[in-house]
Chains A and B, each alone.
Chain A
Amino acid sequence: MSVPLSVTIFLPLAAGLAGAVLPRGWARWTVLAAALAVLGIAIWMVADYPAGGAGLRDLTNQQWIPELGIRYSLGVDGLNVFLIALTALLWVAATAAACFREWDRPRLFYFHMALAETAVLGAFCAQDLALFVFFFDLMLVPFYFLIGSWGGRQRVRATTKLVIYTLVGSLLMLAGAVALGVLATPAGGHVSFALPVLAHRLVGKGTQEWIFLLFAAAFLVKAPAFPFHGWMPDAYRAAPIPVLVVFSAVLSKVGMYGFLRIVVPLLPQAAQHYQTLMIVIAVVSILYGSALAFSQDDARLVVGYSSVAQLGFILLGIFALDVEGKGAQGAVLQMVNHGLVVAPLFLIIWALSARAGGSESLGRMGGVAFRAPALAGLFLIVALATLAMPGSANFVGELLILFGTFSTKLAFGLVASAGVALAAVYMIRMYQRSMHNRVGAAVESRDVTRGELVTIAPLVAVIVALGVYPHFVVARTERSTVRQERPAASLEHASETGGQASVPPAGTAELGPLGRAP
């Protein structure tokens, strides 16, 4: 027995609306309460999820716009259950962090925060392509306002750039989604955007290829991956920290999730066709992101560019397309891991800047650890997890991704593994510059406040727990992930052995037993 997914998704929005009409001081508590309630539901969802994996659960499947063949279809499987939990957890952290500050026009602020959570949860749960596009584009609206209204210097410029970049991708995806739905419809059939139906109605290879490019544009911009990251520095500099926490940790995952949920299973031939291109983008992102993260002075941008590199790893895993699906499993695990480390990193930067006279420049920090052992300890754990120290879940994730890549694209895998080492370089540099080094001019070292502890410590606890037992995630995601990758991966297998492979549809195997590609 579980709560209907619609309730989970729309609870924050309802709370945000309630907060907007209630007296001014109440908004933060209603939204925080809703975020906590969603977290509770999400924990139950994870706990209830069978360890061996399962098909789609908690299905909601209703007509929404029959005229257009759009269904209001939601579901949870191994692919998204942890991402939903991640979203719920990080929103609690971000909202709680925001609650410790006073915001101008608080009701509007918390309304947008709540709307954003609803949109992200909706995108993760959607099992209908059009519904996914709907939520995917909707995510942008609250973040546009959050960054533009409550951000730092040059916020309007930054947020406009962000929206234009992302919406260019989104609109291309909209065109691609509609084209996919319409062109996949057999003569005389009804248009449908339901993912399981589309998995049966594969379009021709040529069509798959151009639609693939439209989707890839949207997801790569969102990530952001190397040539599409132009909006990232401005937006990261301008965004208020609680917003940046969820923005960086969760929104980038939606793009990667889109690859796994939609692109690879629905366009397997195109995924195979463009595998090398995507892997090149991934590897370049890893190297470029790492190099720039090493050379940044702004602490936010160190984390920002490190995200570019980390998302490169995730992309690499997804397009490893190995038969056993190791790359993709690693990618899913790494999505969770990256979200879990980026969020506390930004919260720590917030804490650091509060001690460094409001500056987020690494040059002006330094020596903070002197009287802040607890903060330093928390930061160290997070930093070590980020650089994928053995013993962290990130290590397992990256290892799985590299294993997957080695089995299909050995050369690229070897280049990418350099990224693991580079991560150590930039993370340790950041830790040293801020925590040790000479004490900065305006630095006033003091240990974690209660507010910081409440928001950072639980996240660190989850990082440690996952480091101890990453199998918890891997076991539950394995089945769903392998299922998504199988059509594309089996093509690869077929081409290697020279045989003809029939393409088994993805996303429908909940009916059958766990199957591996031949």
Chain B
Amino acid sequence: MIGAVHSQLGPFHAPHVDWKGMSPLLSVLGGSAAVLIAGLFPGRRTQRVVVPVLAIAALIAAIGLTVWIWEPGGVRPIVAGALSVDTLALGVSVLFYVAGIATILLSLRSAVVRECGAGEYASLLLGSIGGMVLLAGAQNLVTIFIGLELLSIPLYILCGSRVRQEHSLEAGLKYLIVGSVGSATLLYGLALLYGATGSTSLSVIGHAVGTRVPLDDPLVLTGVALAATGLAFKASIAPFHTWTPDVYQGAPTPVTTFMAVATKAAAFAILLRLFDEGLISDRTNWGPALAALAVASIVIGNAGAIGQRSMKRLLAWSGVAQAGYILAGVVVGTRLGIQTSAFYLAIYLPMNVAAFAVVIARMRVSERGDDMAALEGLGRSSPWLAWPMTIAMLALAGFPATAGFIGKFYLIDATVAGGYAWLGVAIVIGSMISLVYYLRVIAVMWMSPSEVEVPAPAPARASPSRRVRSVAGWSPEADVRAQPEVAFVAIACAAATVFFGIVPEPLLHLAREVGSAISSAL
């Protein structure tokens, strides 16, 4: 019988594995296993110091390795063509690592770490980052799916990781169900693409569509539509965004931060890869559909944010709108479009992390949780938190001297040059609507609360997670000093936002190198 097996197998060739190219991924996944074990050792010191330090070390090592293997324009297929190491994958993965470091810093004093264990928490986070890296470098439909699942499953758990809080569990369950629907849809779409072209390799699909397979082949069209839908769930693009506000609000805030910036970046990395590389020849068919999704996101996201009092919900809706802006870069399908999407994803990270960091800092000391009222008078009581929030809001609204302005400028540039000028106008109109709620946040912080018109209070769901100090004897300055790492993340991100708003050239240069990864772009 063994002989029969031998004869059926035939000669076997081990796949070529480029260990150098894989090294950042290995560092992250190795770190994931290491922190899991480290978290088993008892002791406060292990939980509070060793595990976070190990996790951050793994992420910093991954960044270092990424810089080491960075090579503009070179696309290196590794692991038998299932993965590629190119500037798009590497550039976006740096965002995941940075978001991961920020998340770990933000959750140092978070109740979630105590409730689900520091080792498990960090391990799940690193595992999710590993999935994102896999996804960003995927060259194959199978890898896309594996990456997406590896990304999602730890996040489902992380969302529900405050097991004693009802709304955290609710968020976890909601995300699990909606995320599974998204994954299933995507899988169905990928299967149809495979059925139409006979290959799971993106490059083969790219060559086949338009030559062997007609552009309007129903199988391809259905596959593209389903794949776009599945990824739209992950990127929270309207009308597949309905889970976003609930999950963002219910999940532990550091996890929300991570989801808002890293998951979005991962979803857009694969959208760029799939549409602007694999299916670029079919652009005439998917272009208008994605453009419609972008406009829907911009309108629905901004309109939805206006009525929000909860900062986490507000940022969730604003994230939907911003996803619409980023999608515009995917739609135009030009190299410039890819660059603008990559650039916007990069600046989206500090803008959002700064805002979330301030929300976290306030949630820990204020009884009002993530309600906008928790920010009242922040400009007077702790300007070191008010300024990062202000800068983040101004940047998200696209004011000059922040990176948001350059991002908008670049996006409009790409849309006009790509023949989608009306999409540029849609971005502009969306920005106008967004002013209403971004400015309200600033007004709450700096201007007297009685003067600010905020929406009627919603039934309070958020409760303060934990007091850093009891209110008696609490001073505003202590707010910053008691959680220096949160203030540090907020200030560093705000500083980066301003810096890249005035000196965007380094980031633009990197974005151009990222754009060079996709050679098929127009």
Which residue numbers of A lie inside 8 Å of B, CB to CB?
Answer: 65-68, 105, 108, 130, 133-135, 137-138, 140-141, 144-145, 148-149, 154-157, 159-160, 163-164, 167-168, 171-172, 174-175, 178-179, 181-183, 191
Other than the given A171-B398, A179-B421, 11 more pairs (CB < 8 A) read A65-B505, A133-B400, A138-B400, A141-B401, A156-B453, A157-B453, A159-B447, A160-B439, A160-B440, A168-B432, A174-B408
Contact of A156 among B427, B432, B447 (CB under 8 A): B447
Do B409 and A164 touch (CB < 8 A)? no
Instruction: Check if B446 is an interface residue, CB within 8 A of chain A.
Output: yes
If A137-B405, A171-B398 touch, does A67 touch B509 (CB 8 Å cutoff)?
yes
If A156-B453, A160-B440 touch, does A179 touch B424 (CB 8 Å cutoff)?
yes
**Residues 247-274 of B at the A interface (beta carbon under 8 Å):** none
Instruction: Check if B186 is an interface residue, CB within 8 A of chain A.
Output: no
- Chain A-chain B contacts (Cβ-Cβ < 8 Å), number: 97
Do A67 and B508 touch (CB < 8 A)? yes
Cβ contacts under 8 Å, A157 to chain B: 451, 453
If A67-B508, A148-B447 touch, does A134 touch B400 (CB 8 Å cutoff)?
yes
Smallest CB gap from B449: residue in A: A156
Do B424 and A68 touch (CB < 8 A)? no
Do A191 and B413 touch (CB < 8 A)? yes
Do B439 and A179 touch (CB < 8 A)? no
Cβ contacts under 8 Å, B440 to chain A: 160
Which of A65, A140, A174, A175 has the most chain B CB atoms inside 10 A of its CB?
A: A175
**Residues 439-462 of B at the A interface (beta carbon under 8 Å):** 439-440, 442-443, 446-448, 451-453
Give chain B nearest CB distance to A139 CB in angstroms: 9
- The digit string for B176-213, where 1 denotes a CB below 8 A from any CB of A, is 00000000000000000000000000000000000000
Smallest CB gap from A66: residue in B: B505
Q: On chain B, which size bracket covers the interface?
A: 35 or more
Which residue numbers of B lie inside 8 Å of A, CB to CB?
Answer: 379-380, 394, 398-401, 405-406, 408-410, 412-413, 416-417, 421, 424-425, 427-428, 431-432, 435-436, 439-440, 442-443, 446-448, 451-453, 504-505, 508-509, 512
Do B416 and A182 touch (CB < 8 A)? yes
* Bound-complex Cα distance A105 to B386 (A): 14
* Bound-complex Cα distance A179 to B508 (A): 20
Contact of B447 among A137, A149, A163 (CB under 8 A): A149
Give chain A nearest CB distance to B492 CB in angstroms: 19
Do A137 and B400 touch (CB < 8 A)? yes
Do B435 and A135 touch (CB < 8 A)? no
* Bound-complex Cα distance A475 to B442 (A): 46
Give chain A nearest CB distance to B357 CB in angstroms: 22
Cβ contacts under 8 Å, A156 to chain B: 443, 447-448, 451-453
Give chain B nearest CB distance to A425 CB in angstroms: 36
Cβ contacts under 8 Å, A140 to chain B: 399
Give chain B nearest CB distance to A74 CB in angstroms: 16
Cβ contacts under 8 Å, A135 to chain B: 400
Smallest CB gap from B501: residue in A: A134
Contact of B431 among A133, A134, A171 (CB under 8 A): A171
Do B400 and A175 touch (CB < 8 A)? no
Contact of A134 among B405, B421, B447 (CB under 8 A): B405
Give chain A nearest CB distance to B19 CB in angstroms: 34
* Bound-complex Cα distance A145 to B394 (A): 12
